[in-house]
């Protein structure tokens, strides 16, 4: 279809696939060796601070830093650092404000509506994308 592609991974998947560098190098090698002509983004979904930094260092072109479980001040501080590191690498950053209900890699969220002021703060930090909690569910649906 000649459309750009996003190859996404979670930190759980990264453990089973040999690490961030293995995934990034595999995707880049396939792109070059197979003569793929469409852009390919290598994305970390719902990453921790440490995971986002490792993914950027390994060559991921996009990371989602999910600091929604931190108090907002800590989420902002860590988000600033991830954005600065990503911009140095030419990568994009998605951040989360408010939590999504459900489970991602063993982390459970209760779900909530994000505070619009907090969303604006994250946007002003230079986040490329914002995942804002709107009472939505991510991952497996809870029973009942």
How many helices (H) and strands (E) would you count in the chain? Answer: 5, 8
**Active-site residue among 45, 115, 124, 128?**
45
In a domain, 54, yes or no: yes
Distance (Å, whole) CA 79 – CA 18: 26
So what's the pLDDT on residue 61? 98
Whether 105 is catalytic = no
Note the pLDDT tens digit of each residue in 97-144. Answer: 876 555 555 555 555 678 899 999 999 999 999 988 776 666 666 666
Quick one: which of 70, 24, 74 has its CA closest to 44? 24
Whether the pLDDT of residue 18 is over 60: the answer is: yes
In a domain, 66, yes or no: yes
In a domain, 144, yes or no: no
Note the pLDDT tens digit of each residue in 19-61. Answer: 999 999 999 999 999 999 999 999 999 899 999 999 999 999 9
Name the domain count of the chain. 1
Give the side-chain half-sphere CA count within 13 A for 53: 9
CATH code, 48: 3.20.20.70
Give start and end residues of each alpha helix (H) in 8-143.
11-16, 20-33, 49-58, 72-89, 116-125
pLDDT (mean) for 59-81: 94
What are the C-alpha distances in Å from 2 to residues 20, 26, 70?
26, 20, 40
In a domain, 30, yes or no: yes
Q: How confident is the model at residue 92 (pLDDT cuts 50, 70, 90)?
A: very high
Specify the pTM.
0.85
Distance (Å, whole) CA 88 – CA 86: 5
Its domain, for residue 19, covers 5-138
So what's the pLDDT on residue 115? 87
Whether the pLDDT of residue 82 is over 60: the answer is: yes
In a domain, 100, yes or no: yes
């Amino acid at each position: 279809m000649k459309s750009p592609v996003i190859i996404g991974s979670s930190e759980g998947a990264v453990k089973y696939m040999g690490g961030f560098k293995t995934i990034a190098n595999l995707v880049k090698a396939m792109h070059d060796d197979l003569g793929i002509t469409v852009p390919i983004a290598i994305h970390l979904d719902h990453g921790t601070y440490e995971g986002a930094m490792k993914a950027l260092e390994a060559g991921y072109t996009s990371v989602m830093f999910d600091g929604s479980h931190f108090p907002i001040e800590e989420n902002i501080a860590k988000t600033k650092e991830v954005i600065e590191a990503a911009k140095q690498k030419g990568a994009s950053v998605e951040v989360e404000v408010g939590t999504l209900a459900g489970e991602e890699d063993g982390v459970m969220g209760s779900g909530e509506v994000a505070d619009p002021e907090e969303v604006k703060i994250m946007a002003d930090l230079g986040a490329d994308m914002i995942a804002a909690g709107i009472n939505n569910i991510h991952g497996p649906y809870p029973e009942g």
